[in-house]
């Protein structure tokens, strides 16, 4: 009898540890606390994917203060007082359009390809409208040709579609949270979009693959948000292998760019290994220290955590076109962006964004 009792105690202890770990992982992915995590997991039989889906099904439209005029007219006077006047001209402004009075030279003939990759932390709904406007201000400042985005939510995408009309937005999902790309309409032409699932993900992750042309270049653009948390290294490396296989399989007349919030640790990349001709852009440009840490809780205060973590989670990988006579692109410049607080006292995201440019090479 005592043996059975001890076995039950061990079993209960293991279950408690397992559920505590699930709560920690859920809280990390969803940006919430362990109490909320426990509630959603318990209601969904402790199945991570079901619990996350349930969490993200909540109506998040209210996190953006601005509404369409028709929506405004249907609201009560008390609600309207808390909203922006629907008659304001700001409703129709493209926040990513260059100002007619700008002294900045035209970028239409610039032979360089420019790219921003950013986990915008759409799961954090505090000050989200102002933070989304912050993203748009960086689009004006850098006029990137391509933007890789992670942790988008549907309201954030709808906001960008209204306020960044100079870009075509390609979505890697429709529900919960997902990745996306923004393509400068005047510079980049979309040919094809594919969403590649990660078969064993527990966090709703996938790979967004987009085929485009940029001037005389054929490009294969890929973005992803690889599995989060230290305990999911095996799944993350499995996802990286899938990504790199797609990179390797691309035709040799195509330049491939993959970037996003990879959550990778250097040791994991070493274990997986990079295919021939694929480079880590940060490493290729000399491992500049000021671009090293894209997740930096020492400086970025958007997340309240009881520890200091400085990691290079966000990365860009390049495989240039190798076919003889075909133009390719090579790394030119890299910088971190979003380092300044907005008027609300918070940063655009809990991640710094990466800005890169690429030049034609041989």
Domain boundaries, the chain: 2-58, 59-88, 93-361
Quote the pLDDT of residue 70. 46
State the fold for domain 93-361.
Deoxyribonuclease I; Chain A (3.60.10)
In SS3 terms, the chain reads as CHHHHHHHHHHHHHHHHHHHHHHHHHHHHHCCCHHHHHHHHHHCCCCHHHHHHHHHCCCCHHHCCCCCHHHHHCCCHHHHHCCCCCCCHHHHCCCCCCCCCCCCCCCCCCCCEEEEEEECCCCCCCCHHHHHHHHHHHHHHHCCCEEEEEEECHHHHHHHHHHCCCEEEEECCCCCCEEEEEEECCCEEEEEEEEEECCCCCCCCEEEEEEEEECCEEEEEEEEECCCCHHHHHHHHHHHHHHHHHHHHCCCCCEEEEEEECCCCHHHHHHHCCCCCCEEHHHHCCCCHHHCCCEECCCCCCCCCCCCCEECCEEEEEECCCCCCCCEEEEEEEEEECCCCCCCCCCCCCCCEEEEEEEEEC
> What dihedral angle (degrees, nearest 10) is formed by the CA atoms of 88, 89, 93, 98?
-130
Quote the pLDDT of residue 26. 86
Sort strands 146-152 and 113-119 into parallel, antiparallel or unpaired.
Answer: parallel
CA 160/CA 272 separation, integer angstroms: 36
Q: Which two tokens stand for residue 243?
A: 């990504």
State the fold for domain 2-58.
Helicase, Ruva Protein; domain 3 (1.10.8)
pLDDT in tens, the chain (362 residues): 555 556 555 566 678 788 888 888 888 888 777 778 888 888 888 998 888 877 776 545 566 755 444 444 455 444 433 333 433 334 446 777 754 444 445 567 899 999 999 999 999 999 999 999 999 999 999 999 999 999 999 999 999 999 999 999 999 999 899 999 999 999 999 999 999 999 999 999 999 999 999 999 999 999 999 999 999 999 999 999 999 999 999 999 999 999 999 999 999 999 999 999 999 999 999 999 999 999 999 999 999 888 899 999 999 999 999 999 999 999 999 999 999 999 999 999 999 999 999 999 86
Active site residues: 261
């Amino acid at each position: 009898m005592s043996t059975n009792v001890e076995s039950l105690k061990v079993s209960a202890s293991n279950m408690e540890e397992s559920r505590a770990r699930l709560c920690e992982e859920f809280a990390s992915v969803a940006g919430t606390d362990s109490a909320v995590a426990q509630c959603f997991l318990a209601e969904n039989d402790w199945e991570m994917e079901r619990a996350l889906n349930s969490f993200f099904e909540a109506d998040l439209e209210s996190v953006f203060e601005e509404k369409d005029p028709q929506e405004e007219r249907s609201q009560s006077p008390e609600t309207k007082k808390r909203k922006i006047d629907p008659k304001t001209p700001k409703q129709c402004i493209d926040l990513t359009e260059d100002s007619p009075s700008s002294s900045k030279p035209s970028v239409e003939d610039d032979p360089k390809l420019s790219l921003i990759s950013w986990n915008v932390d759409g799961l954090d709904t505090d000050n989200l409208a102002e933070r989304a406007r912050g993203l748009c201000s960086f689009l004006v400042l850098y006029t990137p040709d391509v933007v890789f985005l992670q942790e988008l939510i549907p309201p954030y995408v709808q906001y960008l579609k209204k306020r960044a009309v100079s870009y075509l937005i390609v979505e890697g999902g429709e529900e919960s949270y997902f990745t996306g790309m923004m393509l400068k309409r005047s510079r980049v032409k979309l040919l094809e979009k594919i969403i590649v699932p990660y078969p064993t993900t527990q966090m709703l992750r996938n790979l967004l693959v987009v085929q485009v042309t940029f001037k005389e270049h054929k490009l294969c653009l890929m973005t992803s948000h690889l599995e989060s948390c230290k305990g999911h290294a095996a799944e993350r490396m499995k996802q990286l292998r899938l990504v790199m296989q797609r990179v390797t399989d691309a035709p040799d007349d195509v330049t491939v760019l993959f970037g996003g919030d990879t959550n990778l640790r250097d040791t994991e990349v070493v274990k997986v290994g990079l295919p021939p001709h694929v480079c880590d852009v940060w490493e290729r440009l000399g491992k500049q220290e000021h671009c090293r840490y894209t997740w930096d809780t020492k400086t970025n205060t958007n997340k309240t955590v009881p520890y200091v973590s400085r990691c290079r989670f966000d990365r860009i990988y390049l495989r240039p076109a190798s076919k003889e006579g075909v133009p390719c692109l090579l790394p030119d410049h890299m910088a971190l962006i979003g380092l300044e607080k907005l008027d609300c006292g918070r940063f655009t995201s809990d991640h710094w964004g990466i800005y890169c440019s690429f030049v034609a090479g041989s």
